Amino acid sequence: MKLWKGRFSKEATSSSDEFNASIPFDQRMYEEDIKGSIAHAGMLAKQGILTEEEGALIIKTLGEILEDIKAGKIEFSIEGEDIHMSIETILTERIGQTGKKLHTARSRNDQVAVDFRLWLRKETAEIDSKLDELMKTLQELAETHQETVMPGYTHLQRAQPVTLAYHLLAYYQMFSRDKERFADGLKRINRLPLGSGALAGTTYNTDRQYLADQLGFDSILPNGMDAVADRDFAIEFLNCCSICMMHLSRFCEELILWSSVEFGFVEIDDSYSTGSSIMPQKKNPDMAELIRGKSGRVYGDLMALLTVCKGLPMAYNKDLQEDKEPVFDASDTVKNSLGIFTEMISTMTVKKDTMAKAAKYGYMNATDAADYLVGKGIPFRDCHEIIGKMVLYAIGEGKALDELTMEEFKSFSDAFAEDIYDAISIENCIKAKQSEGSTSFESVRKQLDKITSQ
Ligand code: ARG
């Protein structure tokens, strides 16, 4: 039976009922809906809008409905239309006339907004703890790999030697910004819309501050029309999800490259890889590829909601029912991706020797060789040219720079002496970095200490 049937003389068709209903997906918010209703009933009783007995009966029965849903005893149907009316219908079935009083001084418009905000508050906390786990894993891996030398790249060309710890800590920084971003979004999620009515407020002497306190909101939204029409908080959440997926996706791209025979820097554990149905030798980094792919899906969720909202006049419009599926999808995807990713990197094997070998060949100490000549009083531009010619020569000879003989060095500049070999050893190239935040062993140690002390 429809709760709004009074004004209608004709039944909706079953296809339009189905099209209109959000219960198949918004039932996920049953707990938030009941919590919101319990706070609302408590407020109505406190304000004398309901009697104490009526308030108490509603609250008690809502608690029982919550338990029954959790125990799987309740099946929702399309007739209920959405989670708000479904719960209200069950309540009324159980306690009759009193149940019908719950919706006094409230609209589904402020109800859906409060449910969605409560749901996002919970999800933000879950994502935050998943980010913590990932960051802890990165920190532990970085501790282990402070001496693991590898090529650092620009343009995906070998550029300068770095340590794996340094590379991992770059990602640590990205994920710590994600944490900040979600926490900042939470500030705007955690504001109370309830009590705004359909759009214009209510004629009852309600107490919105009481509702905010009961439900743990930091403040009350100051304008009722904004409160029921706003979905900025959900768009921001999707933005945070999208950036976080972009970070995971970049990391996955590297793991996919690194696990190829061409790189051979890591081996992803069997439990996070799959085989080919035709090529027996294959071991594919499917989890990493899926996370990379799912970043596209989460961006799509963000675009969907931005587009849903862009042409909406004030205040609530049914278009806004389209807010939930993309947000549910993005949140599930981010949580699953963070979880799988953390497991994948904590079980992968790092092939230190292959990394070290790649760091040795690739002329990544060329900048250090130029810096060596600067130390002998030659202007940097000239040094750049001298070393450029030397690299060209070494490529022709199939040698690394530190494999050239003293005689060969001297043929490019008289300034070279025996200490050049030390100056351009890969270890020393890393050690010699002096700027704050560099890849030097000492600087990475400091970066790790700073994280640990936070
Ligand atoms: N199911 C609706 C939604 O998700 C709830 C709000 C409906 N409000 C209304 N006036 N029809 O947006």
Q: How far is the CA of 107 from the centre of ligand 1 (A)?
A: 9
Q: How far is the CA of 110 from the centre of ligand 1 (A)?
A: 9
Contact 162, 150 (CB under 8 A): yes
Q: Is the CB of 86 under 6 A from ligand 1?
A: no
Q: Is the CB of 272 under 6 A from ligand 1?
A: no
Ligand 1: residue whose CA is nearest its atom 11: 318
Q: How far is the CA of 109 from the centre of ligand 1 (A)?
A: 6
Q: Mean pLDDT across the chain, nearest whole number?
A: 96
Q: How far is the CA of 189 from the centre of ligand 1 (A)?
A: 19
Q: What does DSSP assign to residue 284?
A: B
* 337 in catalytic set: no
Burial class (CB in 10 A: 0-12, 13-18, 19+), 10: exposed
Q: Is the CB of 109 under 6 A from ligand 1?
A: yes
Q: Is the CB of 22 under 6 A from ligand 1?
A: yes
- Other C-beta atoms closer than 10 Å to the C-beta of 27 total 18
Q: Indicate the top mutation candidate among 29, 318, 322, 327 to test ligand 1's pocket, ranked by most ligand atoms within 8 A of CB.
A: 318
Q: Is the CB of 231 under 6 A from ligand 1?
A: no
Q: Is the CB of 108 under 6 A from ligand 1?
A: yes
Look at strands 219-220 and 266-267 and give their pairing: unpaired
Residues 6+ apart with CB under 8 A from 187: 218
Distance CA 257, CA 250 (A): 11
pLDDT (tens digit, 0 to 9) for every residue of the chain, 454 residues total? Answer: 788 888 888 888 889 999 999 999 999 999 999 999 999 999 999 999 999 999 999 999 999 999 999 999 999 999 999 999 999 999 999 999 999 999 999 999 999 999 999 999 999 999 999 999 999 999 999 999 999 999 999 999 999 999 999 999 999 999 999 999 999 999 999 999 999 999 999 999 999 999 999 999 999 999 999 999 999 999 999 999 999 999 999 999 999 999 999 999 999 999 998 887 888 888 899 999 999 999 999 999 999 999 999 999 999 999 999 999 999 999 999 999 999 999 999 999 999 999 999 998 899 999 999 999 999 999 999 999 999 999 999 999 999 999 999 999 999 999 999 999 999 999 999 999 999 999 999 999 999 999 988 8
Structure confidence by residue, pLDDT tens digits, 45-94: 999 999 999 999 999 999 999 999 999 999 999 999 999 999 999 999 99
Q: Indicate the top mutation candidate among 25, 103, 107, 112 to test ligand 1's pocket, ranked by most ligand atoms within 8 A of CB.
A: 112
- The pLDDT, as a whole number, for residue 10 is 85
- The pLDDT, as a whole number, for residue 427 is 95
Q: Is the CB of 82 under 6 A from ligand 1?
A: yes
Q: How far is the CA of 113 from the centre of ligand 1 (A)?
A: 9
- Give the containing element (helix H, strand E) for 382: helix 380-397
Residues 6+ apart with CB under 8 A from 323: 116, 231, 234, 305, 308
Q: Is the CB of 112 under 6 A from ligand 1?
A: yes
Q: Is the CB of 191 under 6 A from ligand 1?
A: no
* 295 in catalytic set: no
- The pLDDT, as a whole number, for residue 20 is 97
- Other C-beta atoms closer than 10 Å to the C-beta of 30 total 19
Q: How far is the CA of 321 from the centre of ligand 1 (A)?
A: 6
Distance CA 316, CA 197 (A): 11
Ligand 1: residue whose CA is nearest its atom 2: 321
Exactly one of 9, 155, 271, 277 is catalytic; name it.
155
**In this prediction, what percent of the chain has a pLDDT beyond 70?**
100
* Three-state SS at 401: helix
> Token digits for 250?
């970049």
Name beta bridge partners: 149.
Answer: 163
Locate the ligand 1 atom nearest the alpha carbon of residue 324 and give its number: 4
Structure confidence by residue, pLDDT tens digits, 13-29: 889 999 999 999 999 99
DSSP character string of 204-243 = S---HHHHHHHHT-SEE-S-HHHHHH--HHHHHHHHHHHH
Distance CA 331, CA 370 (A): 50
Distance CA 382, CA 265 (A): 36
- The pLDDT, as a whole number, for residue 283 is 84
> Token digits for 109?
């418009």
